[in-house]
Amino acid sequence: MKLNTLTLKDTLNKLQHKEISLSELYRDVDEAIADHNEKLNVYLTVNNEAVKEARKQQNKPLAGVPVAVKDNFCTKGMRTTAATNVLKDFIPPFDATVISRLKEAGGVVVGKTNMDAWAHGSSTETSDFGPTKNPRNPDYLPGGSSGGSAAAVAADMCIAAIGSETAGSIRQPASWCGVVGLKPTYGRVSRYGVAAMASSTDSPGAIGKTVEDCAILLNAIAGKDPYDATTSPQPVPDFTNGLKKGVKGLKIGVCYTEHPKLKGTDASRAVVAAAKTFERLGATVEPVSEIMDPSIAIGVYTIVQRSEVSSNLAGYNGIRYDYGRAFFGDEAKRRIMLGTFTLSKGYADKYYVTAQKVRSLYIENYQKLFGRYDLLIGPTSPGYAQKLGATKDNPMFGELEDMLLEPSSISGLPGISVPSHRDPKTNLYLGLNIVANYWQEVSMIAAAYAFEQEVKL
């Protein structure tokens, strides 16, 4: 068997028991990269020293395994572009905290993955370096903005991957690529060294072949960081602890299946099926009635994200390390300008402040729901992956696609997407989104694991 198809858990097991060697592992991973990268355009930069670095990491928990990293994470000495021409040749002189923690735990950055430029999108089609193709069906998009990382996992071009989510950017590509995507609570993982998108919702997270793989990776990178003042002193549990706890006795709320945009779709049907599965496993499951309409979150997210990003991208002026503002792609220009507008004199109250007020309402709504439910489930994406070219002439593509995820992202809640259904005709997937209350990743991971084991896609 090809070792690149192993899960992270199995890889670590086999390395520990010396059933496989790092050389063998990297040989197979490198082969997969050589075979697929040109066609799928997953990696923007490949680390040719990976196996050498891996050998130095053998005795650590992650034992030198190859991890794909989204290209908005600064990696010292390794090109970091955020898929934009503005940073086409930028070589950071420092590591993001997530990267230094990954290395401390023994992981190796095998390459930097493609993404929507500046993470502005949900398709990876707006990368300045060409789209990534969905490994499940290369006529289709992988989703975004962590499309490259999700594709890397789906194509076994790595053992696990790191992504980031501002409003769906981990979970949506995971669902489109048929892999698992874990977005932790905002403040659980440090944003230091990650090119900022929307500062108040950006969350680095894990993308993996299984739920357990994501939990293992999250263990390596989570925790308060003195370099990021928004990280929480909340104690970090072992996220693999209680993996097999199951859902017996839990109360689970089902969201959005009756929403006009989803009624009668495969996505809705898949969630209804998932609800039945959880019931079988011992949970009490019922449809949620008092959840806020997710389409309004589109407005909140659009304004908050663009406002914050207009400011976050103001430092790219071609002086210290980048090519300057003429190199921004169309989407970036649009977002910066709109964000400048929504913060400008005479409009800030109408747009920015109002958006932040509606945000408060979503947070309140969720607290009310979590007073009643332990977990909330719903479709990750309204549908399957879309075809290449789908984003053309559609500036709001991402926001509409991520509608079901925006409410939890703007609230800072943790969520995980697990594959829930595969269409045999297209080989494309749907994902189940499970959302937990703040800091309750362990229980959402347990539910995701139970579901994953039952469904065995």
Partner 1 sequence: MDVKKIAKLAHIPITEKEEETLTKGFHATLKVVDMLFSVDVKGTQPTSQVTGLENVLREDVIDGSRQFTQEQALANAPRKHNGYFVVDQILEDD
Partner 2 sequence: MNYEPVIGMEIHVELATRSKMFCGCPSNHFAKVPNTQTCPVCLAMPGGLPVPNKKAIEWTIKLGLALGCEIPLFSKFDRKNYFYPDLPKGYQISQYDQPLAIHGKLGDVRIHRVHLEEDTGKLVHSNNMTLIDFNRSGVPLVEIVTEPDIRSGDQAKEFLKKLYQVVRYLGISDADMEKGSMRLEPNISVRPMGSKTLPKYKVEVKNINSFNFVKKAIEYEVKRHIDLLEQGRTPVQETRGWMEGNNETVSQRIKEEANDYRYFPEPDIPPMRWDSVFVNGIKAQLPELPEARNTRFMKEYALNAYDSGLLTDSRELADYFEECVKLKSVSPKKLANWIINKKVNIDDVLPATLVKSIVQASAVATISDTELENVIQRVIGENPKAVADYKKGKTQVLGFLIGMVMKQLKGKGNPESIKKTFQLYI
Which of 23, 317, 367, 394 is in the footprint of partner 2 by CB under 8 A?
317
Question: Using the rule CB under 8 A, which residue among 352, 362, 366, 370 binds partner 2?
Answer: 352
| Residue 96 engages partner 2 in binding (rule: CB under 8 A) | yes
- CB nearer to partner 1: pick between 7 and 340: 340
Among 16, 344, 360, 394, binds partner 2 (CB under 8 A): 344
In the complex, minimum distance from the CB of residue 252 to partner 1, in angstroms, rounded to a whole number: 23
Instruction: Tell the smallest beta-carbon distance from residue 302 to partner 1 (Å).
Output: 5
Indicate which single residue of 23, 353, 368, 389 sits in contact with partner 1 (rule: CB under 8 A): 353
Contact status: 142 vs partner 1 (CB under 8 A): no
Q: Give CA–CA dist 405/379, Å, rounded.
A: 9
The answer to whether 119 and 145 have CB atoms below 8 angstroms apart is yes
From residue 228, give the alpha-carbon distance in Å to each of 69, 215, 234, 325: 20, 22, 14, 27
Residue 354: CB minimum distance to partner 1, A: 6
Q: Which does 307 bind (CB under 5 to 8 A by kind): partner 1, partner 2, none?
A: partner 2
Q: How many helices (H) and strands (E) does the chain have?
A: 14, 11
Per the annotation, the verdict on 387 as an active-site residue is no
Q: Minimum Å distance from CB 204 to partner 2? A: 10
Q: Which of partner 2, partner 1, none does residue 412 bind to, with CB < 5 to 8 Å depending on kind? A: partner 1
Is 88 a binding residue for partner 1 by CB under 8 A? The answer is no
How many residues touch partner 1 (CB under 8 A)?
A: 59
Q: Which is nearer to partner 1, 197 or 298 (CB)?
A: 298
Q: How far is the CB of 340 from partner 1 (least distance, A)?
A: 4
Size of the site for partner 2 (CB under 8 A): 42
CA distance 103 to 220: 9
H-helix or E-strand containing 275? helix 266-280
Say if residues 275 and 424 touch (Cβ distance below 8 Å): no
Q: Is 307 in the site for partner 2 (CB under 8 A)?
A: yes
Using the rule CB under 8 A, is 203 a contact of partner 1?
Answer: no
Residue 362 lies near partner 2 (rule: CB under 8 A): no
Ramachandran region of residue 131, left (φ > 0), alpha (ψ -120 to 50) or beta?
A: beta
φ and ψ of 368, to 5 deg? -65, -45
Edge-first strand listing for the sheet containing 284-287: 43-46, 108-113, 66-70, 160-165, 203-208, 180-183, 415-423, 428-436, 375-379, 251-254, 284-287
Quote the CA–CA distance of 35 and 37 in Å, as a whole number: 6
At 66, which amino acid appears?
P
Question: What stretches of 42-123 adopt beta strand conformation (E)?
Answer: 43-46, 66-70, 108-113
Interface with partner 2 (CB under 8 A), residue from 217, 313, 445, 450: 313
Q: Which of 146, 149, 169, 409 is catalytic?
A: 169
By CB under 8 A, tell whether 15 contacts partner 2. no
365 lies in the binding site for partner 2 (CB under 8 A):
no
Among 179, 145, 182, 131, CA closest to 70: 145
Distance CA 438, CA 30 (A): 39
169 in catalytic set? yes
In this structure, is the dihedral angle defined by the CA atoms of residues 150, 153, 158 and 163, taken in order, positive or negative?
positive
Q: Which of 127, 145, 268, 443 is catalytic?
A: 145
Q: Which residues in 199-228 contact partner 2 (CB under 8 A)? A: 199-200, 226-228
Residue 209 annotated in active site: no
Tell how far CA 188 is from the center of its chain: 14
User: Minimum Å distance from CB 297 to partner 1?
Assistant: 10
**HSE value, Cβ hemisphere, 13 Å, CA-based, for 243:** 16
Closest approach, Cβ 352 to partner 2, in A, equals 6
Task: Give the interface segment with partner 1, choosing from 128-136, 171-179, 214-222, 313-321 (CB under 8 A).
Answer: 313-321
Active-site positions read: 70, 145, 169
